[in-house]
Structure 1
Amino acid sequence: MRVLHIIQRYPPAIGGSEKWCGDLCRYLAKKGIITEVATINLDNMEAFFKWLPDERYSLFGHHDYDQGVFIKRYKLWSFAYRTLGVKVACFLLYVIGLEHTQIGDVFQHSPHSFEMYFKLASEIKKADIVHLHTLPFFHNLVGFKLAKIFKKKVVITPHFHPGHEHYEKKLFYDMMKRCDAVIAVSAFEKSYLAAAGVPEGKILITANSIDREIHVTKEEFESYKNKLIKVYNISENAKKIIFLGRKQKSKGILQLIEAACELAKEVEEQVCLFLVGPSNQEFPGIDSFSDKPANLKLIDFGVVSENEKECLLQISDMLALPSKFEAFGIVFLEAWKFCKPVIGSDQGPIPDVIKGAGLQARYGDVGDLKEKLKQILFDSKLAKELGEAGREKLDREFSTESIGRKVLSTYHQVRKSKKRLLLVANQFPPHGGVSGSGIVAYQQGRILEKMGFDVKVFAGSRIQKKEHYRVTREKWPFDILRINLHDIDYDYNFVDYGKHRLKAEFKKFICECAPDIIHFHNAYAFGPGIFEVCRDMHIPSVVTLHDYNFICYKNILVTDQQVICEKKDLECRYCYERPFNRDDYVITLAERNRFYMQYLHLSQLLISPSRYLIERFIACGIPPEKCAVINNGIDLSRFNHAKKPISRKVRFTYIGQVIDHKGVDKLLHSVSLLEPEKRRKIFLLIIGFGDKLYDELCRRLTREKGISDIVKFAGEIANRHIPRILSRTDALIVPSLWPENSPVTIMEALASGTPVLASDIGGIPELIQDGVNGYLHTYNDTETLTANIRKVIEQPQTLKKMKQACLAKAQEYELSKQVREIARHYHRLIENA
């Protein structure tokens, strides 16, 4: 899922809505959501009114990256209302009659970036959801209009200030009514908006949150405290009040200073009022309060760092924010983090927020505010109770996790588009040849697309003459990005764990297609480091295990002595040590296996088509709860179950790679052991490609054994022709010398009603029952394979009986049935991401 957030400023710019947006965006990025922010390159809102550029704002980077969040900061259009550009715009508004309308008023009181307005269309077009923040600014109107044009879902967090002239506009209420969801940060805000006509069913309450971790060390705090006391001559028993926020009239700062003055006149103790936050033209400065009592210290710190703010909160006895307009009042949470009592006004959502953990003062009533200050500062028991209650409330009600879950749930509810799946495979049709894993990925992808998934593919091509890692795009049968691999990528004697260029292309493609989940099929040629990208982007991933690459450098669990490896750990005791180079280091086989398994553990689910294979991985340390046995499945509709054409000979077929561990030479030996009269009754078709030297060895062996008249090497044949081949096959032979998982060729044979003669190793016995739907022979034993071939020749009628058993077995693994089970896991992982 891709979400575009549009906000006037983004952290490190200071403000409640800015912090809420930043915390949410970082949470979403950690949940695998491609999270982007379009904002104005503006630090301090008050700086918007400055005349000179060097007074106006501090620049952040145009592009920024905040813990997984992609940020684009666009250039601010004007410096102040007095500039020529703004005057021209206001004149145009006047000419077209909009100057004194609501939209004209919003335009004149908003910071603008026409660069952002021009580029929003392309950004919104890519998004699944557009999330608007902070109502009274013009960018929300632009973003909303463009989102509706492109038929995108719109969520808004207005951070509404009830009664504020810039918020109370009909066009804003109309916009909220047309949004797909409205996120309120308090129950008061929800009830206020509902009373104004915003459909209550659209409004979600999330509250607010802060980082609970204390970043200042004890030593840093003590050093700061001692320095502060010394510089400002603060007495040991001074009563210290802190104000956090913009120093503007609506925040109640002037009433707070007046109340502090009145309090200082009544008490002997020193009273300190710390003012923390940006100033504007509404605040006259502390020097204007020259007639304040001698025992009152007004200290204006301006904008401070997070660490300095933590120190000041710890030093203070309480926080006061007697504000008229607040969407929530996040500074109350910051005070509660240090168990400090608070005072707020009786306006808006504040009474609900501080209920049970602070005192309320009537807004604008200096006398009432003074009494509340005195009550907390001179009643240590009450102050402690309120501070502890605030901390409990903070822990109980205000967490980023809670807010993020609610918002993410809202996204899923309003998003009606398809879930997006990214398939990853070394080879993928039409360039996958007869590679079983590529065929499985393709066939499952087709069914998943029919089930409503938007399927994208990251696949390899293998053209040695073309540039290494060259990228091409295809639009059929899916949206496919192919990256060209060379022979060295498949060479198990050389491993490049990083493959930084490949990983960069993979990450770029993920950012483009914003998948909800990623499914790997035999992606070993891409290198194990590719799994890091999913982890770093917090996107859930699934791996279908087609072989043993993660626990065996050969992939096949066959030792150098050409016997099946029965190991139950990651050590390699029966193979010669081989170096694995990345130019600068060499590792042992066991280190290689541990390294690969470290990456495999990053995936949330491992799917094995056979019980045998997954048990080998569990023995090597994979938690059973991360595993699922789901057969690859077979598309039964591709195969014709009609009676096979009559032939004078028994037609045997081998389909697969022509490489040594597939046992093609053993098959040829077995055929050569048949009596001459038996040989004349059969025909063997060998379909597939592979190692050139081994292929030539097999062809030479055919000539040497005198069986070239009954054996044909057909080479590579496109998978779409396999049903036709099997319709002219009486029995398929799978003479594997390695413990295969769940061979695609066996599944295809079963679906066509073709019995199978196969080795009794790996996951094969889970598919073939000896004497029922085929015959099993002892692997690497040519004589038992010869005996099974002889049975078929002597009793061809048994093949007809086996046909129904083959079809019945194939029904158990009908493709859509298996894929539905995979999709069920997808939805679970996406939900739990």
Structure 2
Amino acid sequence: MLRVLEVAHDHPSWTTGGTEFIAKDLADALNFREDVSARLLVAATSLQRPGSAPGSLEAIDDDFVISTGRYDRFSMLRDDGTSWLDSLGKVLETVRPDVVHLHGIDRLGAEILPAIRRMAPRVRIALTLHDYQIICPNDGLLLTTRDQKRCMGMQADRCRSCFPQIDAARHALRQTHLQSLLSAVDVFIAPSEFLKSRFADWGIPADKIRVIRNAVKHAAPVKLAVSSELKAQRTRRDRFAYFGNVSPHKGVMVLLEAAARLKARELDLRIDIHGGLGWADEAFTSAFRDRLEHAGILAQHLGPYDRGDLPNILARTDWVVVPSTWWENAPLVILEARAAGRPVICSGIGGMSELVTDGVDGLHVPPGDASALADTMAKAATDTGLWERLASAPRMPLSHEAFVDQHLDLFRSFFKRVAAA
């Protein structure tokens, strides 16, 4: 029996991010496999667990929940005492894992790595790098704080230009300290080649990083043949949708500027924005609403959506637009769109360019270029043959079953190497 403990910094019950769904779905799928037992451990703040003392251990069904208190985002270390170590010890004692697979270390704290190694010396540790939090103290965005330009990685002097209150030496020490703690990890998993390259440049040996592309649960290929009746009803493929948090780096303002340009050209199409404003500040919220108003009837903000409703929403959508201006790693919405046979229009950078092949199963646009995005959307809305060709592309995302297989193969390889030695 292979025992696996999946660890994430949030739970899909209260956070709808891709990382949470990936961790939960993987834990559940592993549990269905023969000779495998898997459990999920997540962190929760006082917002999700009001009244819970930092470090306390609770449960959501079969999943473990450790409450967290103060957390230093710069150092990625916890500042809420040591009671969480007792809770972590109880989880390790209960699960007795052979493999601990973490999906990031933010909020849980980088100290969890040496803590696991001390409490369970024989366990193997895998860490999936879903974002750039470890590299970049600017929320892991690899964007400059002053002008929101994309950054290729950590350099102490360059990081200081974003955080002038922190001297270059502290940035360098942050990198050295995190690299030291990460030495406890046996293997790193990257969902894209681009992310792997960023972490290899940062200092993680490339031969310790395994690329396993993300997958969505139930992402089965769909029949894409378009009936003659449907063709008669739909002569244009002019329904566009955006999915995700409404925030600057997601490119939603670029999308709305493109919508305003399309409105000026008197094009008849629809853009649905699905997602909440979350913790957006008042200035951005005001700017978003103003730009939404300028887009007129072309665009509407429908607010947050339930993951269970996504198949129905995609069925009413022709094109999924992912106009992010940062180095996205592997957005689940692209995988969900491709699995549903919906072509994607995305910024041709980062992991997005690996998931969407321009002119084959979707279209690329330059990031931040509202004019180019408007032109691309206009062509997409009026060229029905283009939609049919891209939607029928044979290239499909990795199945969730294959995704689970690749993780199991990796986890089991740890012990094959030990036996061979």
TM-score if structure 1 supplies the norm length? 0.45
Q: Secondary structure at the match of 1:747?
A: helix
Q: Does 1:506 align with 2:96?
A: no
8 Å Cα contact 2:27-2:40 kept in structure 1: no
* Match of residue 245 from structure 2: 657
Contact 1:654 1:686 in 2 (8 A): yes
What are the superposed Cα offsets for residues 764-797 of structure 1, whole Å, 9 maximum, x if unpaired?
1111111111111111222221221111122133
Give a deviation string over 1:542-565, Cα, whole Å, max 9, x none. 011111111111201111231111
Deviation at residue 529 of structure 1 after TM alignment:
0.8
Match of 1:540 in 2: 124
Q: Among 424, 432, 436, which residue is 2:15 paired with? A: 432
**Does 2:57 match 1:467?**
no
Shift of 1:671: 1.3
1:661 and 1:736 in contact (8 A); partners too: yes
- Aligned position for 2:255: 667
Question: What SS does structure 2 have at the residue aligned with 1:770?
Answer: coil
Measured after TM superposition, the shift of residue 425 of structure 1 is 0.5
Give, in whole Å, the separation in 2 of the partners of 1:643 and 1:696. Answer: 43
Distance 1:763 1:588 in 2: 30
Matched, 1:699 2:289: yes
Selected match of 2:345 from 723, 734, 757: 757
Q: Residue type of the partner of 1:713?
A: H
Q: 1:660 to 1:827 in 2, by over 3 A?
A: same
Amino acid at match of 2:362: G
* Structure 1 contact 544–607 (Cα < 8 Å) conserved: yes
Q: Deviations over 1:422-476 (max 9, x none)?
A: 011112223332x01111112222322222321111112344243353432122x
- Mapped contact 2:73–2:106 kept (Cα < 8 A): no
1:726 corresponds, among 290, 311, 314, to 314
Give the aligned partner of residue 152 of structure 2. Answer: 566
Indicate if the aligned counterparts of 1:652 and 1:733 stay in contact, CA closer than 8 A.
Answer: yes
What is the CA-CA distance between 1:708 and the residue it aligns to?
Answer: 4.0
* 1:730 to partner: Cα distance: 0.5
CA shift for structure 1 position 505: 1.7
Instruction: Report SS of the residue matched to 2:242.
Output: strand
Tell me which moved more, 592-601 or 546-555.
Answer: 592-601
How much does 1:739 deviate? 0.6
Shift of 1:502: 2.7
Please give the alpha-carbon distance, in whole angstroms, between the structure 2 residues aligned to 1:494 and 1:567: 17
Q: Report Cα offsets for 1:709-752 as digits up to 9, x if no partner.
A: 23222222222221221111101111111111111110111111
Q: Aligned AA for 2:411?
A: Y
Say whether 1:773 aligns with 2:376.
Answer: no
The DSSP-based 3-state class of the residue aligned with 2:161 is: coil
Q: 2:170 aligns with which of 588, 596, 599?
A: 588
Q: Distance in 1 between matches of 2:60 and 2:381?
A: 47
Cα distance change of structure 1 residues 473 and 601 upon mapping to structure 2, 3 Å threshold: same
- Whether the 8 Å CA contact 2:344–2:361 is kept in 1: the answer is yes
Tell me, in whole angstroms, the C-alpha distance in 2 between the residues paired with 1:727 and 1:639.
14
Does the alignment pair 1:680 with 2:268?
Answer: yes
Tell me the equivalent position of 1:552: 136
Q: CA deviation at 1:680?
A: 2.6
CA distance in 1, matches of 2:210, 2:76: 29
Alignment length (residue pairs): 401
How many Å separate the matches in 2 of 1:770 and 1:649?
18
2:264 and 2:165 mapped to 1: Cα distance? 48
Deviation at 1:492, TM superposition (A): 3.1
For the 8 Å contact 2:76–2:106, the answer to whether it is kept is no
1:455 has 2:45 as partner: no
Which letter maps to 1:496? L
| Aligned mates of 2:128, 2:390 — CA distance in 1 | 30
Partner Cα distance (1:463, 1:566) in 2: 34
Q: Is the 8 A contact 1:632 1:818 kept in 2?
A: yes
Letter matched to residue 550 of structure 1: I
* 1:675-707 CA-partner distances (Å, limit 9, x unpaired): 44544322333334422323453123212x1x2
Distance 2:273 2:267 in 1: 14
TM-superposed deviation, 1:579: 5.9
Shift of 1:481: 0.9
In 1, Cα distance between equivalents of 2:52 and 2:161: 34
CA contact (8 A) 2:195 2:351 kept: yes
Q: Distance in 2 between matches of 1:579 and 1:822?
A: 42
1:496 paired residue number: 77
Secondary structure of 2:66's counterpart equals: strand
The AA in structure 2 aligned to 1:508 is K
- How far, CA to CA, are the matches of 2:173 and 2:312 in structure 1? 46
Deviation by residue 1:35-92 (Cα, 9 ceiling, x = unmatched): xxxxxxxxxxxxxxxxxxxxxxxxxxxxxxxxxxxxxxxxxxxxxxxxxxxxxxxxxx
**Unmatched segments (≥5 aa) in structure 2:** none
Give the CA RMSD over aligned residues.
Answer: 2.7
User: Structure 2 matches for 1:23-42, cutoff 5 A?
Assistant: none
Native 8 Å contact 1:757 1:777 kept in 2: yes
Give the CA deviation at 1:530.
0.9
Q: Which residue of 2 aligns with 1:444?
A: 26
Secondary structure at the residue paired with 1:528? Answer: coil
Preserved CA contact (<8 Å) 1:551 1:570: no
Q: Structure 2 counterpart of 1:814, which letter? A: S
Residues 681 and 718 of structure 1, relative CA distance in 2, 3 Å threshold: closer
Alpha-carbon shift at residue 521 of structure 1 (Å)? 0.9
The question of 1:715 aligning with 2:287 is answered no
State how 1:272-291 maps to structure 2 within 5 Å.
Answer: none
Matched-pair contact (CA < 8 Å) for 1:650–1:681: yes
1:183-198 paired onto structure 2 within 5 Å: none
Q: Distance in 2 between matches of 1:635 and 1:473?
A: 23
Hey, what's the Cα distance between the residues in 2 that align with 1:686 and 1:649? 19
Does the 8 Å contact 1:424/1:520 carry over to 2? Answer: yes
Alpha-carbon distance between aligned partners in 2 of 1:456 and 1:800, rounded to the nearest angstrom: 42
What CA distance in whole angstroms lies between the structure 2 residues aligned with 1:426 and 1:594? 23
Of 480, 487, 492 in structure 1, the residue corresponding to residue 63 of structure 2 is 480
Q: Which has the higher contact order (CA 8 A, sep 6+)?
A: 2
Q: 2:410 matched to 1:825?
A: yes
Offset, 1:498: 5.7
- Separation (CA, whole Å) in 2 of partners of 1:483 and 1:497: 13
Query: 1:419, CA displacement in angstroms?
Result: 1.2
Spell out, residue by residue over 1:610-652, the C-alpha distance to the aligned partner (whole angstroms, 9 max, x if none).
1111011111221122111110123345675466875677111
TM normalised by structure 2 equals 0.87
Task: Note closer, same or farther for the CA distance 1:523–1:689 as it changes in structure 2 (3 Å cut).
Answer: farther
Aligned 8 A contact 1:498 1:527 in 2? no
The CA distance in 2 between the partners of 1:716 and 1:594, in whole Å, is 39
1:816 to 392, 401, 408: 401
The 3-state SS of whatever aligns with 1:525 is coil
Q: Distance in 1 between matches of 2:237 and 2:189?
A: 41
